[in-house]
Amino acid sequence: MENHPLEYDYTVAKMFMLTTIILGIVGMLIGVILAFQLAYPGLNLMLGEGLAEYTNFSRLRPLHTDAVVFGFTLSGIFATWYYIGQRVLKVSMAESKLLMFLGKLHFWLYLVVIVAAVVSLFMGITSSKEYAEFEWPIDILVVVVWVIFGAGMFGLIGIRREKSLYISVWYYIATFLGIAMLYLFNNMAIPTMFGVSDIGESGVGVWYHSVSMYAGTNDALVQWWYGHNAVAFGFTVPIVAMIYYFLPKESGQAIYSYKLSLLSFWALMFLYLWAGGHHLLYSTVPDWLQTMGSIFSVILILPSWGSAINMLLTMKGEWQQVAASPLIKFMVLSSTFYMFSTLEGPIQAIKSVNAIAHFTDWIVGHVHDGTLGWVGFMIMAALYHMAPRLFKREIYSKSLMTAQFWIQTVGVVLYFTSMWIAGITQGMMWRAHDEFGNLAYSFIDTVTVLHPYYVIRSVGGLLYLIGFFMFAYNIYKTMSARKVEESELQNATPMGA
Amino acid sequence: MDIAQLQAYGYFTLTIGLVLILYGYIYHLYSKKKDVDGVDYESYSNMALKDDIDDTPVASMSEDKAPKSAKK
Ligand code: HEM
Ligand code: HEM
């Protein structure tokens, strides 16, 4: 090899960092628009009647969910993998031309998928399955991207110097395998052009249209086995991977109990896959399956809190760091929100509670205390930790980061508290009846009552978005901030005033 | 035995099997301080804390594969 010492190569991590930020902005901006549309329906026509097709709530909603899930979150997962993977395996991507090539190919093909997804969803092309809206041509491309991601991951593991795999790597592998299995099964579909209708016509429909291989109750079952585990392997497992690396690293503390991390890993894997039934309570799926979903959901508290408590205890005796560092604040709040949403989820999974919660805004509240508080905060913290190491510069501004932390925290709190009140109000009003069984309220009564809470949610979401812009700006300015020495990058991230 | 019955027995056996494996693993973790390679579980945290490219691995794959720059 040449003279200069071997270094980790963060080229691909940088590329995915960029998409994390851009798609985060896009997804959350659409989220805020959706929130205001629910409060002020006139906004569905914000660009006039002519463009209403593109600006209405229904068209934008899947764009929001897919942009934040498959754009922001997934990019964050990739960016951190291409950073953590090399470090804990102690091998640089620069050592293998093939891995470098796979990494870049992974990025560019991913970008193609994103563009195809955004364009097709804007055009209204969808398979109408939540979180699986992409039509089959895009699905095939998704599979290719995923296989390349996996090949790169196992390739890097194959040339590692560290014999054992750090716990985060276990979680990344689980993410890869879990999503591979789920995505394939749920997206099984037959293009309509291959079908023959009842009256014998063939080549029906547009070439990119398809129908699911499953029908009726089976479709619901497969969809929510997927949907729930998309939460598991997209919003939980890889985020745990991140916090198990970044929190110990940033604080300089060893994980409170490495054994507990291994134990929670297997317990989480064992339990999560059975809990999907809680999305289908009181539906047409078999009763035993609903009960099983409820029970596994409640037990799921154990491994979830196992990981979260392990993280909080890592900070034992070091709480002054939480006060001193906004970056650690982000991570500690993130694991707190993880505990919070994994307590809330099991409660909502209890049948009698779900009877009130299902179809209401309480679910939306649950979704966003998980995603904004846990997923969003952790991904931003990860990028804040990585940026100085990627650019060899200090974080541009610590005070900006602190301000962002508080603004976004207020945003999340406004979001979920308003949705709790709205959701429970909705649930109670829908079921209220008089002594003869006549419903006490009509649907529009609930809409009127909910208006103020929708406004509060919109404001909360807007605050979170503003915080995200502050984050993007801080990272952008970091690229030209003060240069730092390697020695300053050991643990606590260097930050400018 | 029809297929549904076979499925039910298979399903039951699988669940019991997985439970046993999980609890066996929990018992193993709690009764042993070190894993089969003789490494103390808790020292695995150092894989993250000491992760510069020329830090010494917790358990090395093999001697000759140490990074070039590490052999000063
Ligand atoms: C122990 C863990 C958890 C359990 C048992 C759980 C349980 C539930 C339940 C019962 C529902 C409502 C189903 C319905 O009535 O429609 C739900 C919805 C949801 N949860 Fe969780 N949850 C957990 C953790 C999380 C976390 C950590 C996140 C995200 C970071 C999350 C994201 C979601 C999403 C996105 C939905 C909405 C799905 C949809 O209807 O589109 N959950 N969860
Ligand atoms: C600026 C912040 C955000 C705002 C204002 C916002 C707003 C919204 C709104 C208004 C909805 C539709 C709710 C409904 O149909 O009643 C929604 C759904 C959803 N959002 Fe967000 N969102 C934000 C950020 C995020 C982030 C960062 C994520 C994930 C990482 C996320 C994940 C989701 C999911 C999974 C759903 C579907 C929930 C369901 O079907 O139950 N959101 N969001």
A38-47 mean pLDDT: 96
Mind listing the pLDDT tens digit for each residue in A418-472? 999 999 999 999 999 999 999 999 999 999 999 999 999 999 999 999 999 999 9
Mind listing the pLDDT tens digit for each residue in A6-35? 899 999 999 999 999 999 999 999 999 999
Q: Say yes or no for a CB contact (<8 Å) between B47 and A92.
A: no
Query: To which H or E segment does residue A212 belong?
Result: strand A210-212
Spatial distance between the Cα atoms of A484 and A89, rounded to a whole number of angstroms: 25
Q: What is the pLDDT of residue B63?
A: 60
Closest to A381 in 3D by CA, of A12, A79, A85: A79
A47-63 mean pLDDT: 95
- B29–A contact, CB cutoff 8 A: yes
CB A172 within 8 Å of CB A153: yes
Mind listing the pLDDT tens digit for each residue in A317-359? 999 999 999 999 999 999 999 999 999 999 999 999 999 999 9
Closest to A306 in 3D by CA, of B26, B35, B49, B42: B26
Q: Which residues of A touch B59 (CB under 8 A)?
A: 162-164
Sign of CA dihedral A315, A316, A317, A323: positive
Mind listing the pLDDT tens digit for each residue in A287-309? 999 999 999 999 999 999 999 99
Q: Say yes or no for a CB contact (<8 Å) between A270 and B18.
A: yes
Helix-then-strand count for chain A, H and E: 19, 2
- With vertex at residue B18, the alpha carbon angle to CA B15 and CA B24, rounded to the nearest 5 degrees, is 140
Whole-complex ipTM: 0.84
Please report, for chain A, the start and end positions of each structural domain, with discontinuous segments joined by +: 11-192+205-490
A147-161 mean pLDDT: 96
Lowest mean pLDDT among A50-64, A393-407, A424-438, B51-65: B51-65
Mind listing the pLDDT tens digit for each residue in A160-184? 999 999 999 999 999 999 999 999 9
Query: pLDDT confidence of A491, banded at 50, 70, 90?
Result: confident
d(CA A470, ligand 2 centre) in Å:
20
Query: pLDDT confidence of B71, banded at 50, 70, 90?
Result: very low
Looking at chain A, the whole-number percentage of residues with pLDDT higher than 90 is: 91
CATH 3.40.640.10 given to domain A11-192+205-490: no
Neighbour-count burial for A374-383, b at 16+ CB within 10 Å, e otherwise: bbbbbbbbbb
Mind listing the pLDDT tens digit for each residue in A67-104? 999 999 999 999 999 999 999 999 999 999 999 999 99
CB A234 within 8 Å of CB A143: no
List the 32-51 stretch of B: residues with Cβ below 8 A of A: 37, 39, 41-42, 44-49, 51
Ligand lying closest to the C-alpha of residue A277: 1
- B61–A contact, CB cutoff 8 A: yes
- A244–B contact, CB cutoff 8 A: yes
- B14–A contact, CB cutoff 8 A: no
Q: What is the pLDDT of residue B69?
A: 47
| Inter-CA distances, A368 with A20, A365, A420, A478, Å | 18, 5, 11, 29
CB A35 within 8 Å of CB A461: yes
Q: What is the pLDDT of residue A195?
A: 80
pLDDT value at A201 more than 90? no
Render A29-75 in DSSP notation, one character per residue. HHHHHHHHHHH-GGGGGTT-GGGHHHHSHHHHHHHHHHIIIIIIIHH
pLDDT value at A197 more than 90? no
